[in-house]
Structure 1
Amino acid sequence: MRMRPTLSWSSTEDLPPGTTDLAPVAGVLEGGGVLVLSGAGISTESGIPDYRGVGGSLSRHTPMTYQDFTAGDQARRRYWARSHLGWRTFRRARPNAGHRAVAAFGRHGLLSGLITQNVDGLHQAAGSDGVVELHGGLDRVVCLSCGALSPRRELARRLAEANAGFRPVAAGINPDGDADLTDEQVGDFQVVPCAACGGILKPDVVFFGEAVPPARVEHCRELVRQAAALLVLGSSLTVMSGLRFVRQAAEAGKPVMIVNRDPTRGDRHAAARVALPLGAALTAVAEGLGVAVDGETAAPD
């Protein structure tokens, strides 16, 4: 549900190559004051696909835009049918080794903050505190009329009651919790209104085509200003909502480290990009720093 980029970025052929050397990442973490910026890639090991990696969902799935969602009832019916089904699977996802390692770094005082582009709540479920959800969270919904926030679990209960016979089999699940369904499978799915005012309900996330709230952006910029270094985990940085913080850190002379298997739009601003699977890489860094990583974590609510 991130904004679709409006400009393409240059070929990766002129970008610095990735490395498998974890020493630079360990070095900045050992110094403390590291701000983490995470993307969809950190959640793939929890069974949630990313948008742009190999087999990413954008190759087969066009996310709902804010403009489409607000334009008509049929678009909202399609969205909520798919999202309701996807939520059943999405909410069962568990934090993986990457999430747990990030939480451990935080407990050991190595991080100054954590910004995530993800809407899955897995960082919080792993035990990370003070997580800034750049694109919001799927665990809550907002009314577009009165602004009331309510838990997603309550909406799920209401939708289940209104659609008792709705049990289609989805072709796949997407990073925004949206399941792949045909129009025939959506059928006459019933959408429920805001319980407070009867208005239109929307997940409290930033859709494609919707801007991140300015106050949230400024808060993130302040976190970059306060940080000693920026560590990007599992993000292609294709959209400006995350790339701007990489550029800000680099322009301020702060070290930027990226752990992502594929080249990213921020590689030219980074001191190094480690091209390794996140779970194994971050666990290895934690072990090298003597940081204990918990093995048991809760599921997001």
Structure 2
Amino acid sequence: MRSLPDLTMTFITSLPEARHFVAQFHGGAYRQIVALTGAGISTESGIPDFRSPGGIWSTRHPVQYQDFLAFEESRLEDWERRFEMMDFFSRAVPNAAHMALVVLARSGFLKRLVTQNVDGLHQASGFPQDCLTEIHGNSTYATCLSCGGRAELEAQRPCVEAGRSPVCDRCGGYLKAAVISFGQEMPERELRVAAVATQDCDLFLVLGSSLVVQPAACLPALAVQNGAELVILNAQETPLDSLASTVIRTPLAQTFVNFGEELAQMTQMVCG
């Protein structure tokens, strides 16, 4: 049974009201903003939510990290899926919600963006790299599991098509998309950076995350425990809605249309 919004919570479902509410983020009312983004911010850019019903993980079991290390068949299967995802990623462009985060970062109000996404759209939007923390890695390039060297995905396609999993041309170690796979340890440094920023923020924004995947799902509660305000913008109910001061149910890209005076010009530069 769907729970009702908390009586102390502002619950917004109309676009005009949502746009009016988010405009305050650019006005300086909050000086230490941390944002967490999930799949919902990228679905409006044409990238499917792979975890949702009908997504890739509902029809194909994910390759476990230990299987990737142990079996050539598993490595090839993982690589074939990366190329499948590349097709989605290559067609996608940042939307207004991505660009609004760039506006907030460049204005100095958004101190840290923590993302669960691996699609590279935050980088494509021009978001400052030194303010971005990817806790699930990045699926748009590969790294060597032995030496950590970077490799481009497309360059590995001939090898995969020939039935061989790619290896590093520097040390011979296995190459793998830089995403954190199921069963792989989460990146300690990135999690530490995210936690420190969360403890220091005065506003924690959730954009397009269902808040069911740990450890990212614990960050909003940590922010509230340290006195921050929590605002959740997500299409569906989340387990942490009751902690939020405001919950917004409108489409993210439409909500942030015309956010900040720089938005239209910046979007043209990235997508034009």
Aligned to 1:157: 155
- Residues 266/68 of structure 1: CA separation in 2 closer, same or farther (3 Å cut): farther
Aligned to 1:215: 189
User: Which consecutive unaligned segments of at least 5 residues does structure 1 have?
Assistant: 1-10, 167-187
Deviations 1:111-157 (A, max 9, x none): 12211111111112111112111111123322222x232132xx422
After superposition, the CA RMSD in angstroms is: 2.4
Aligned pair 1:68/2:40, yes or no? no
- Residues 262/127 of structure 1: CA separation in 2 closer, same or farther (3 Å cut): same
Aligned to 1:103: 102
Letter in 2 for 1:159: R
Contact 2:82–2:139 under 8 Å retained in 1: no
- Residues 57/237 of structure 1: CA separation in 2 closer, same or farther (3 Å cut): farther
Q: Give the number of equivalent residue pairs.
A: 259
**CA-CA distance at 1:223 after TM superposition:** 1.0
Mapped to 2, the partners of 1:64 and 1:298 lie a distance apart of 34
Contact 1:28–1:229 under 8 Å retained in 2: no
Comparing 248-257 with 55-64, greater Cα deviation is found at 55-64
Aligned to 1:256: 230
Q: Which has the higher contact order (CA 8 A, sep 6+)?
A: 1
**CA-CA distance at 1:262 after TM superposition:** 0.6
Letter in 2 for 1:112: K
3-state SS in 2 of match to 1:69? helix
Contact 1:64–1:79 under 8 Å retained in 2: yes
Comparing 36-45 with 61-70, greater Cα deviation is found at 61-70
User: Which consecutive unaligned segments of at least 5 residues does structure 2 have?
Assistant: none
**CA-CA distance at 1:24 after TM superposition:** 4.7
Contact 2:22–2:256 under 8 Å retained in 1: no
Letter in 2 for 1:150: R
Mapped to 2, the partners of 1:220 and 1:126 lie a distance apart of 21
Letter in 2 for 1:283: V
TM-score by length of 1: 0.77
**CA-CA distance at 1:230 after TM superposition:** 0.4
Q: Percent identity?
A: 33
3-state SS in 1 of match to 2:256? helix
Contact 1:24–1:272 under 8 Å retained in 2: no
Alignment of 1:116-127 (within 5 A): 116-127=115-126
3-state SS in 2 of match to 1:113? strand
Letter in 2 for 1:91: S
Contact 1:139–1:151 under 8 Å retained in 2: no
- Residues 228/81 of structure 1: CA separation in 2 closer, same or farther (3 Å cut): same
